[in-house]
Structure 1
Amino acid sequence: MITLHKFSDDFCEENYVLIALHSDLEDYALAYTLNRALKISLIRSKTDLDISNETSFPIYEWKDKLNERYWTLIVNTSIKEEYLEFHDLFSNETSSTVYHVIPEYKDVDYLLKIEQEEDEIDSDMLDTILEIPKIITAYQIETNNLKSKQNLII
């Protein structure tokens, strides 16, 4: 007789806070600015976040051993340009396709994922982020109802 074990979704679920960031800064500049404001040390990962064969998204990460947090800054939008060959009036045009890590939040520029024990964010942390001059707005995203949260598995 074979014993079959099933895991509940709660067992595999990781605890994290997801913060949406709206900013016109480049990804490296935003990582630098967040590092200075929050006293963290995000660095560019050697590998990108690959959701499909179509595209990849740059990520910055840092493991905070003191506070037992794992920080990840993810670029939410990726644009893939393809060279199209036509033999007519519009020959040799380029086509752009836009991809998002979280398609439900297409207007969000960056996602800050903080893996930690609590599901709540420290209000001081969010206030510090909002005080950064080049960040237009920042807010916590409720992750329970996200359809594309599997894209955040890094």
Structure 2
Amino acid sequence: MALHKLLVDDFYDASYSLLAVHCRLEDYRLAYLLNKYLNLNLKRQPQDLDYKYFAASYPIYEWFDEELFTTWNMVSNVCKREEDSLQSSGSLFLANEKVLKTYHLLPELKNVDFLIKITNDDRYLDEKRMVDKIQNIPQVITTYAIDVDQLRSRDNLIF
């Protein structure tokens, strides 16, 4: 009996652009500045992205441009949570120590603070122009495009 393998990676087509943003702003503040400088209308979604069995949640903002049929998503790449320490203190009394753990939506991009995903199926998007506009925001340190095909954890960007 012959076995037939179907490789799912053969059908994967990244039909979106991904921009990395380095800045130390809160997510709502960056969304406001992107709305102001790029004439967007990003709004926070009622549900955050939850990964790793609700261990990490990432705020996500979305806007659909009906004129250009483009979906804009801005998501935080960093989630910091305070958790109980699992180390034994070696004493008879319990010491409830808290540890601040950091999770990343894309672990291979640990230095990136925010990700902007631009889904545009039909038209060409000028990434360089978008990067230049975001770079003009004074609070943004740097912005650059990411090659989606090189990401190992690109499945985390399916939302």
- If the TM-score is normalised by the length of the shorter chain, which range does it land in? 0.7 to 0.9
CA contact (8 A) 2:127 2:145 kept: no
Equivalent residue, structure 2, for 1:113: 117
Structure 2 unmatched runs, 5+:
none
Equivalent residue, structure 1, for 2:152: 147
Residue type of the alignment partner of 1:124: R
CA shift, 1:12, in A, is 4.7
Change (3 A) 1:120 1:101: same
Equivalent residue, structure 2, for 1:83: 84
Deviations 1:69-98 (A, max 9, x none): 111000000012113485748822101221
Equivalent residue, structure 1, for 2:60: 59
Change (3 A) 1:91 1:62: same
Change (3 A) 1:52 1:119: farther
Give the number of equivalent residue pairs.
Answer: 151
CA contact (8 A) 1:17 1:119 kept: no
Tell me, in whole angstroms, the C-alpha distance in 1 between the residues paired with 2:153 and 2:124: 18
Tell me, in whole angstroms, the C-alpha distance in 2 between the residues paired with 1:56 and 1:142: 24
The equivalences for 1:89-128 within 5 A come to: 91-117=95-121, 121-128=126-133
**TM-score when scaled to structure 2?**
0.84
Tell me, in whole angstroms, the C-alpha distance in 1 between the residues paired with 2:65 and 2:7: 29
Tell me, in whole angstroms, the C-alpha distance in 1 between the residues paired with 2:157 and 2:19: 12
Change (3 A) 1:139 1:119: farther
Tell me, in whole angstroms, the C-alpha distance in 2 between the residues paired with 1:52 and 1:113: 21
CA shift, 1:59, in A, is 0.4
Tell me, in whole angstroms, the C-alpha distance in 2 between the residues paired with 1:119 and 1:141: 16
Is 1:135–2:140 an aligned residue pair? Answer: yes
Secondary structure of 1:135's partner? coil
Higher alpha-carbon deviation: 105-114 or 117-126: 117-126
Secondary structure of 1:92's partner? coil
Tell me, in whole angstroms, the C-alpha distance in 2 between the residues paired with 1:24 and 1:91: 33
Structure 1 unmatched runs, 5+:
none
Work out the percentage of aligned pairs sharing the same amino acid: 39
Deviations 1:116-154 (A, max 9, x none): 136754322211100100000000011101000000000
**TM-score when scaled to structure 1?**
0.87
CA contact (8 A) 1:17 1:121 kept: no
